Chain A
Amino acid sequence: AQTVTQSQPEMSVQEAETVTLSCTYDTSESDYYLFWYKQPPSRQMILVIRQEAYKQQNATENRFSVNFQKAAKSFSLKISDSQLGDAAMYFCAYRSVGGAQKLVFGQGTRLTINP
């Protein structure tokens, strides 16, 4: 079974600075998807960015980018120019290709933005 580990329960960063959230996972599969979801106080999980395992190029979405290291099974999220609205719980998630599209989540990292 796949597992996802987020080793940082909490992180904080100054507004406009850069922060990196860590995620590692364990799987025996060669093809899969990885995601970062954001859960603000409104509680709705919002997709931030996703990475296909067969693509070597790291995904980027505006201020959000990932560092995907497939051999190390590492998938970190970098937030540049942090904004107050980035404050939220961030969840790393894994999904197999095919099957019931089950998302396996990490335990989350609470990100605080200091003004």
Chain B
Amino acid sequence: ETGVTQTPRHLVMGMTNKKSLKCEQHLGHNAMYWYKQSAKKPLELMFVYSLEERVENNSVPSRFSPECPNSSHLFLHLHTLQPEDSALYLCASSQDLSQWNTEAFFGQGTRLTVV
């Protein structure tokens, strides 16, 4: 039990498919994040949610649609992706955005391949 669980671990999808990535945290945290990790590039923050409300959207294309139904679950809905969207998608959580001295805990990621 890692605290932050992501499913699926691997996903291969066509450019016309619709799929969703799921993240669940068992730590009682109030903030959740999506990061994208591409080969040979630094991790890029995509979205930040605090108490189910989106507080940051880093100019992410609309083909990525996040959803946070409660403070324990975070989804990333994928639609008409491009091959360059292939990457490792990491979910993270932290206690609270107001408690800036706490760390972020990460899941194991979903390896996405768009064909």
Contacts and interface: CB of A to CB of B under 8 A. Distances in A.
B42 A105 contact: yes
A5 to B, nearest CB: 9
Sorting the interface of chain A by its residue count into under 10, 10 to 19, 20 to 34 or 35 or more gives 20 to 34
B97 to A, nearest CB: 6
Interface in B41-90: 41-43, 45, 48, 50, 55-56, 88, 90
Given A103-B45, A105-B42, A45 B90 contact: yes
A97 interface: yes
A50 B105 CA distance: 13
Contact of B103 (A35, A96, A104, A106): A35
Interface residues of B, number: 28
A42 B103 contact: no
Contacts of B50: 100
Contacts, number: 61
Contact of A100 (B48, B108, B111): B48
B100 A44 contact: no
A109 B48 CA distance: 26
A44 B2 contact: yes
A52 B101 contact: yes
Nearest to A37: B106
A63 interface: no
Interface of A: 4, 33, 35, 37, 42-47, 50, 52, 91, 95-108
7 shortest interchain CB distances as A-B pairs = A45-B106, A105-B43, A105-B42, A44-B108, A100-B48, A43-B109, A100-B56
